[in-house]
A and B are shown apart, each in its own frame.
Chain A
């Protein structure tokens, strides 16, 4: 321990941030060349893609936005939403309804292209619908300690499917609500560019969200609500804001979903889809923007990718006589379970050596310094301090989080519900 005291006694003369590893000029040059090469190849491949695949890529971008939306709930706030099919579906129907019924651009009246203005308004309305429904549900669910958001959103999802999506003035029943695209984005190619562009916007917002006061506050809340409050974070408000941002992304994804097919039918949004969306975020890597985008795109494109593999496609079509999409429902959960049990961190962690290197770090397969096993004495000291020592990590204060909860008065699971009562009464008082 004495070494540590020495450490704390060292006072650096100037208060400047300690320098991190930065690559040399040549190092930067190599990285830039690789990034540029990747970018050029991607842009070239995407720009020259067949219309059919442009449509597939649009779907992939929409899935990625949904993935980012769920990542905010699951990865940042540590809750689960099982009703995202309802948020996305509501957004889709609201957007389509605005174009067809309110702006009067119905295909039966010969209107094939909507105007850019109504199109934009439709998208904004869809986003708003997501924000509002997320806000209303969150106001109830996020007040209660525990994972009740999962339960309430699941129930809301069923209400949406059985009730809201059955309102014929909103959905035109089984025939579906048409949603014509505007001329600007009419071809599948142009529409793909729009979807990818909006995915870029969402990624930017997600990045700034995490790197500003909102993200820090939300991560603190996830870690411990008592600690977050002690840093002056309004716990309920920030949970709610995060969930509303998630709703906004979901609503946007819904609108894009509507205009992709140019018609919305209720069966597009089933609860099993919502569950699959949750799992694609897990496979991508909770909390990792790039991982989530890759994971979501993989789940969206999986049925089409299978068709590219000749023998697999033959086997499915002729021997099993099954649709590749049906296979997603088996492979997806399997991958998710495998991720959780064997590879926590998901795709993001698997590719992290490369992404970290591109971002200007050293290339290492063990970014967290996990190759350093703690020395004998380090282990002894850690034991004395009541910390747990993991074989593959350095010294990890595993217990501190549990202890934190006790210390902070967040009770153990057993008394969670009574505390919830205490909490809600507090909110009322304030």
Chain B
């Protein structure tokens, strides 16, 4: 009897350990994020891609930014919520992105769907880049599922809760 009890206890322990291990992996996959700095809703992770990256940054980038360039080549700014309200960006809303010409050799704003790939639409407007701004001092871009009457446009059709 004691041996039976022990075997039963060990089986229970093994099941609990397996379940807890899987939960640990799943929760980490879902919630782990890299240390970042936030500027008006735009987040930046300075150690992206570098050998000096901490394990959390490396794990985050492996999931959502594999093959990212280091700060020597590029800086990635990411936004998934409205600047003023903090609400998640959604294809059900229209947004205005405006700013001044960025002090960079080249820049672009690209819309990615929730799965971190380009949104599944054939509108042909997944991004807006510096060559399209033609050196203007300011830029104004509409993010919307429907093409605006005028102006620069990034299509959010089928983007769900997208990020830019």
A binds B: no
Q: Which residues of A contact B (CB under 8 A)?
A: none
Q: Which residues of B contact A (CB under 8 A)?
A: none
